[in-house]
Amino acid sequence: MEEKIKSFLEEINLFLFTNEESAEAFRLKYLSKKGIIPALFEEFKTLPPEQRKTTGKSLNELKQLAEQKLADAKSTINKSPDKDTVKTDLSLPGDPHSLGARHPISIVRKQMTDIFTRIGFVVSEGPEIEDDWHNFGALNFPPNHPARDMQDTFFIDSGDGEKWLLRTHTSSVQVRVMENQQPPIRTISPGRVYRNETISARAHCQFHQVEGLYIDEGVSFADLKQTLYYFVQEMFGDKIEIRFRPSFFPFTEPSAEMDITCLICNGAGCPVCKHSGWVEILGCGMVHPNVLDNCKIDSTKYTGYAFGMGIERITMLKFRINDLRLFFENDIRFLSQFKSVL
Ligand code: PHE
């Protein structure tokens, strides 16, 4: 028995406590009711009396050692650092959170809507999937008229007999406003539009517009000119000049396109303005009486003007961006350059 005690003594001395589980395993093995040490005590009872004295002493020593070892192990395990006891070092540098940036189209869209809302326009929005009436019919595009080809349209095959399409301009939103409201109407409709165009540096199959509409008694082309002049001065600065060229849109009569001084060469002539010194930024005109009638607005009483421009074009001029595709590629190197703006 002395031999056994001696070997357990060694074993216990070498036992490696790593965590609470190992301490519990130790207790079960040596000290629990069914453990080794109580079993040794049982065996001890069977010893002849002359052996009991020395063996009893070593057995007690073994038990004490085991108890001591367990107690020591428990207290060191409890003291070891865990998340509740570790103090936070407040002097350490924080985790950097890099700030995102607004998309340049969102920045300019906001600037544009701010300029117009300052002079009393309200923002109206509408669906991107439209019916033929709101995108074309109400806007005086006769059925099968070649004017519909001006805006290569994505049609949707819905199978329900209705001709659905992706709106080609946000004029469709203005039809909805006119159908639901009587003049005075002063509204702008920013939003995404779609045209079946080959993607290039200057054209895309999706882009953004801000279209404007003002209808009241006695609204004239002079009001239109002054509003647009105010807009470009706010957007590009006081030095900017404008010019109007006659144009055609089914929903306006007369119709015009407006150019501004080329911001790249200040009017001197460069490849961007094709050496003319001018760049086109929008289409506009006086709302055609048929459009007013289509929307149940009395065309003998009211007149109005409308205009529409691409946000991409304005953004390209403002930030001197020469390729429209950059707006849709989500290249972080491009987008992060607008962090300091707004
Ligand atoms: N809707 C026209 C377009 O998308 C722009 C426009 C709006 C022209 C209003 C005249 C008047 O091209």
Lowest average pLDDT, out of 133-137, 247-251, 269-273, goes to 269-273
pLDDT, position 264: 80
Nearest-CA residue for ligand 1 atom 10 is 284
In CATH, the number for domain 104-338 is 3.30.930.10
pLDDT at 197 over 70: yes
pLDDT, position 96: 85
pLDDT at 127 over 80: yes
Ligand 1, residue 139: give the atom nearest the CA.
Answer: 1
51-63 tens-digit pLDDT: 888 898 998 999 9
**Separation of CA 49 and ligand 1 centre (Å):** 116
152-186 tens-digit pLDDT: 889 888 888 888 999 999 999 999 999 999 999 99
2-30 average pLDDT score: 89
**Separation of CA 240 and ligand 1 centre (Å):** 22
pLDDT, position 273: 85
Q: What share of the chain has pLDDT > 70, as a percent?
A: 96
Residues in contact with ligand 1 (CB, 6 Å cut-off): 169, 171, 211, 249, 252, 283-285, 306-308
**Helices 49-79, 2-14: crossing angle, 10 deg rounding:** 10
Report for 75-79, 87-91, 135-139: range of highest mean pLDDT: 135-139
Q: Which amino acid type is present at position 85?
A: T
Of 140, 204, 211, which is best to mutate to test ligand 1, by the most ligand atoms within 8 angstroms of its C-beta? 211
Sequence spans of domains, the chain: 2-81, 104-338
**Separation of CA 310 and ligand 1 centre (Å):** 10
pLDDT, position 84: 58
Of 171, 189, 193, which is best to mutate to test ligand 1, by the most ligand atoms within 8 angstroms of its C-beta? 171
- State the alpha helices, DSSP H only, in 119-258: 132-135, 171-180, 221-236
**Separation of CA 283 and ligand 1 centre (Å):** 5
**Separation of CA 307 and ligand 1 centre (Å):** 6
Q: How many of the other CB atoms lie within 10 Å of CB of 261?
A: 20
